[in-house]
A and B are shown apart, each in its own frame.
Chain A
Amino acid sequence: MAVAQTDIETLATADKPQGYWSGVGRRFLKDKVAVAAGCVAGGLILMAIFAPWVAPQDPFDGTMIRRLSPIGTEGYPLGADELGRDMLSRLIHGARLSLFMGVTPVLIAFVIGSAIGIAAGYAGGWVNSVTMRVLDVFYAFPSVLLAIAISGALGAGILNGLLSLTVVFIPPIARVAESVTTAVRKLEYIEAARASGASAFTIVRAHVLGNVLGPIFVYATSLISVSMILAAGLSFLGLGVSPPNPEWGLMLNTLRNAIYVQPWLAALPGVMIFLTSISFNMLSDGLRSAMDIKQ
C-alpha cells in the first residue's frame, strides 16, 4: 500500500539527475558577461605565460632617440616609454609580475584565511570571539596603509611585497569564512552529522568545506583586482617591484612625469590594471550567481 503510493510520488518528479558542477557550468555559460570576462582574464593569463613569444621586442632594450614616442609610431604600435623601450612589449611582460602580485597573495591568504575562519566559525563560543577580535585589529587599518606599513618595515622587494599583501588579505577572507561557517554550522545537517558520532574534523571535511569554500572563493577572486591595485601602489611608492622590471604599477609611476607630454601613453598601464581588475571582478560575480544552487 505504502509502496504503491510512493511510486506515484516518485514518478511525478522523475527526470535526469544532474551533478552540482555540471549545473554550475551550464548556468555560467548562459551568463554572457561572465563568459566574456572569463575570456579576457584567460587571455591576460595566456599573454603573461607566453610573454617572451608574444612580445615583439625586448622590454629592456631602450634607445634615447625614441623616448616618449606617441602611440602609432612605426615599429612601436603603443609608443615607447621614458627610456625609449617598446611600450607594447613592456605591457605584455608586465602582465607576468602584475598578475603574479595580484593572484599569489590572494591564493595564500585564501588558504590561511579560510583555515582560520572555518576553525573559528565551527568552534564558536569564546574561541571564535578571541580569534575574530584579534583579526579585527588588523582589519581596522585601511588595507593600503597596512600594506605600506608592513612592506616599508620589511624593505623593498617582490617577496616582501607579497608577504605584506598576504597579511593584508587574511583578515577579510577569514571574516567571510567565519560568517559563512557560522551560518552553515547552525543547519540541521550539521547536527545530523554530529548525531552520527563523526569527529569535528570529519564533519568539517565532509559537510562544511563543500558548502563554505564556494562563497569564500568567490569573495577571494574579487580581491585579486584589489591586490593588483595595492601591488601597483606599492611599486608606485618604490616598495614592491624595482626598476627596470616591467610591472604595471611601476610603469604608471615612472610615466607620471610624462603625463603632460604623452597623456595617452602614460595612461596605458592604468588601462591594463583596469581591464584586469574589472574582468576578474565580473568573472567572480558570474561564478557567484552560477554557484547559487537554488536557481
Chain B
Amino acid sequence: MSDAILSAHNLVKHFNAGGWGAARKVVRAVDDVSFDVAPGETLGVVGESGCGKSTTARLLTHLLPTDRGEVRFRGRVAGTEVPLKDFRRHVQMVFQDSYASLNPRMTMLDAVAFGPTVHGLDLPEARRRAGALLERVGLDPARFGPRYPHEISGGQRQRVNIARALAFDPDVIVLDEAVSALDKSVEAQVLNLLTELRRERGLTYIFISHDLNVVRHISDRVMVMYLGEVVEIGPTADLYTAPRHPYTEALLAAMPSLDPDRRTMEAPLQGDPPNPIDPPPGCRFHTRCARAFGPCPGTAPVPALVGRRHLASCHLNTVKEAAE
C-alpha cells in the first residue's frame, strides 16, 4: 500500500456533546477509519447524512485536528513529515455550499489568485494564472473575473471553487458534496468538467456524495460509511453489482431507478441511524440489519478481504454458520 498517494490510518474524531468528567458525552463522528487512494483514481464516499463523510473530508485535508490516527501523503505523515503548508498545496478541497465558500467581498479573479500568493507568487502573475484557470473551467475571465459571488449563478460559483483548488496545481482534490446543491443539468456539466480535468492533469479525486448514481458514474472505487465507520470499500463495478455488506445492499436498493421492473416497492431500511453519541455495541448496523444473527450484537466485525481490493466489515462474510 506504499504506492498510495493519500492514505488515512485509523482516523478518529469525537466531538464534545456536553457534560463533564464521567458524564461527558461525545459524538463519534469518525471512528477508526482507514483507507488509501491510488494516484489518478477517484474514490467515491457514500453514506447517509451524519455518517461522518464530511468530517472524514476535513480530517483528510487537515482542516480539523484528528483525535487519533494520521493522514499520509505519498507515504509520509502530513503535518510532521510533510509540512502542513506543502501538504495543503498538494491536497485541496471543494465544498458543498458554493456561496458560503467564496468571500462575498472578493472578486472571482482574486479568489482564485489568493492561494498562490500565499505560497509566494506575486499578485500580477497570480492574477494572470487565475484568469487562465477561469477560462479553463469555462468562465470568460474578462466577464467573470471582476464579479462578486452574489452576482453569478451556483454552477458558475462552483466552477470558480474548482478553479481555486486547481490554482495550487494539486495532486488530490477532495470534493465534499461538490455537485449536490446544483441543478441536474448544471451538475452534469460540472461533472463533465471534473472528468476532463482529471484526465488532463492526472488528478486524484475523493468524491463525497449521497447520490449513488453520481458516485457510480465518476468513481473507480467506492467507500461506504455508516455511523463513523467504513463498512465496505471496493471497486465500483463489484460493489454495485455484488455488495458484500447488508447496508450497502440496502443503500443500493433505495436507489431510484427508471426501470419499472426494478422499482423499489418498500423502504429497504427502516428509521434513522442510531444516535452516534451512543452507538450500538457489536456491529453498529445490527439494529437495522435484516440479516443480523448470533455474533452481530456482541462483537464488532473486522474488515475482511472479499474480493480484489474489496473489503467488507460483516460477520456474514467471515462466520461460517451464517452461510447455513
Name A's B-contacting residues (CB within 8 A). 1-3, 5-6, 9-10, 12-14, 17-20, 187-189, 191-198, 202, 206-207, 210-211, 293-294
Contact = CB atoms under 8 A, between A and B. Distances in A.
Contacts of B106: 206-207, 210
A12 B189 CA distance: 16
A195 B63 contact: yes
Contacts of A13: 151-153, 156
A107 to B, nearest CB: 23
B148 A191 contact: no
Contact of A9 (B97, B105, B114, B186): B186
Contacts of A191: 58, 63, 93, 95, 101
B115 A196 contact: yes
Given A195-B63, A197-B88, A6 B105 contact: no
Contacts of B101: 187-189, 191-192
Interface string B61-85: 1010000000000000000000011
Contacts of B92: 195
Nearest to A194: B63
Given A2-B193, A10-B138, 19 more contacts: A2-B189, A3-B138, A6-B138, A6-B189, A9-B189, A10-B144, A13-B156, A18-B151, A19-B146, A188-B101, A189-B100, A189-B102, A191-B101, A192-B93, A192-B95, A197-B118, A202-B118, A211-B105, A293-B148
Given A193-B114, A197-B85, A211-B104, A9 B153 contact: yes
Given A6-B139, A196-B115, A189 B151 contact: no
B140 A195 contact: no
A20 B119 contact: no
B118 A9 contact: no
B258 to A, nearest CB: 23
A192 B96 CA distance: 12
A43 B58 CA distance: 54
Max count, chain B CB within 10 A of own CB: residue among A1, A6, A14, A202 = A6
Interface in B105-156: 105-106, 114-115, 118-119, 138-140, 143-144, 146-148, 150-153, 155-156
Contact of A188 (B88, B97, B115, B140): B97
A76 B120 CA distance: 68
